[in-house]
Amino acid sequence: MGVNLLVVEDDDRVRLALRLAMEDEGYDVTEAENAENALRHLRTHGVPDVIIVDLMLGGMDGYTCIREVRREHDVPIIVVSARDDTHDVVAALEAGADDFVTKPFVVKEITARLRALRRRARLAAGRDNGADPSLEPPESLVLDADSHSPLVLSIQGGTVRRGDEQVHLTITEFRVLCELAASPGRVLSRGDLLNRVWDRGFFGDERIVDVHVRRLRTKIERDPSDPRVVVTVRGLGYRLDVQR
């Protein structure tokens, strides 16, 4: 069975080119010419394995589409857009996208990024045994031992819980947390995180890491404005401090 891919693109030529190229790569492709049809497809046919979405769509734009998907699903999302300004990239990631490719695109770049995203999804679900187990944190790690609602990371289960409630992280947010949790107390530079989470990096723009760390903090920290679990080490990077 192939990988189910939903392409959300309002340019007929680009959408056709993506469909033909991705089908050649073995993907089962569904097309949506706007965000409204894409969201309708998710409701009626279920969630695909991965979504490619353009930002500048007729009607609902790509940013809003991503946020709507993120309300209920953690499916990997990759943006393919002609808008390559840093502000646009960061805004797309803030909305919940996992990765960003600029137009005109090279199919091999998209397929490489899709493979990396799906690998992160497998790791998040605890189904990929390719990683060095010595570099992984324990199966369950208490990140914040708050007596009322402890924050617990479960690697094998692919979950984070605050007390009895599950914390819903995107695939990329979960991988960032796992990489930091693999070595509590050790500083990882932005470059380290780019190479480990995004495999070969992301445009060399280390600010992308900051976006995902900021989103992660809003979900796991007691006070995101005063983070205690994922802390910034000025000039060096980020460190995970277990709160006992």
Q: Which of 58, 90, 124 finishes a domain? A: 124
Asked if pLDDT for residue 129 goes beyond 70, the answer is: no
144 versus 136: the higher-pLDDT residue is 144
Q: Which of 65, 47, 50 is nearest to 10 (CA)?
A: 65
Considering the domain architecture, whether residues 176 and 216 belong to the same structural domain is answered as yes
Considering the domain architecture, whether residues 167 and 208 belong to the same structural domain is answered as yes
Average pLDDT, the chain: 86
Considering the domain architecture, whether residues 77 and 157 belong to the same structural domain is answered as no
pLDDT for res 111? 84
- The enclosing domain of 47 has a CATH number of 3.40.50.2300
pLDDT for res 137? 47
Considering the domain architecture, whether residues 16 and 119 belong to the same structural domain is answered as yes
Considering the domain architecture, whether residues 112 and 188 belong to the same structural domain is answered as no
Considering the domain architecture, whether residues 115 and 147 belong to the same structural domain is answered as no
Considering the domain architecture, whether residues 140 and 107 belong to the same structural domain is answered as no
83 versus 78: the higher-pLDDT residue is 78
- Residue pair 214/225 in contact (Cβ under 8 Å)? The answer is no
Asked if pLDDT for residue 138 goes beyond 80, the answer is: no
Considering the domain architecture, whether residues 55 and 143 belong to the same structural domain is answered as no
Give the whole-number percent of the chain exceeding pLDDT 90.
Answer: 50
Average pLDDT over residues 214-238: 94
Average pLDDT over residues 194-221: 80
Asked if pLDDT for residue 11 goes beyond 70, the answer is: yes
Considering the domain architecture, whether residues 118 and 218 belong to the same structural domain is answered as no
Average pLDDT over residues 63-77: 92
Q: State the total domains in the chain.
A: 2
Asked if pLDDT for residue 23 goes beyond 70, the answer is: yes
Domain extent for 158: 133-240
**CA–CA dist 190, 20 (Å, integer):** 36
Q: Which of 124, 141, 160 finishes a domain? A: 124
pLDDT band at 233 (very low <50, low <70, confident <90, very high): very high
Asked if pLDDT for residue 133 goes beyond 50, the answer is: no
Considering the domain architecture, whether residues 85 and 181 belong to the same structural domain is answered as no
The angle that helices 171-181 and 107-124 make with each other, rounded to 10 degrees, is: 60
79 versus 108: the higher-pLDDT residue is 79
pLDDT band at 205 (very low <50, low <70, confident <90, very high): low
List, in sequence order, the alpha helices (H) in the chain.
12-24, 35-45, 62-70, 86-95, 107-124, 171-181, 190-197, 207-220
For residue 243, give the DSSP letter: B
Considering the domain architecture, whether residues 161 and 224 belong to the same structural domain is answered as yes
Q: Which of 124, 152, 174 finishes a domain? A: 124
- The enclosing domain of 173 has a CATH number of 1.10.10.10
Considering the domain architecture, whether residues 117 and 72 belong to the same structural domain is answered as yes
Alpha-carbon Rg for the chain, nearest whole angstrom, is: 18
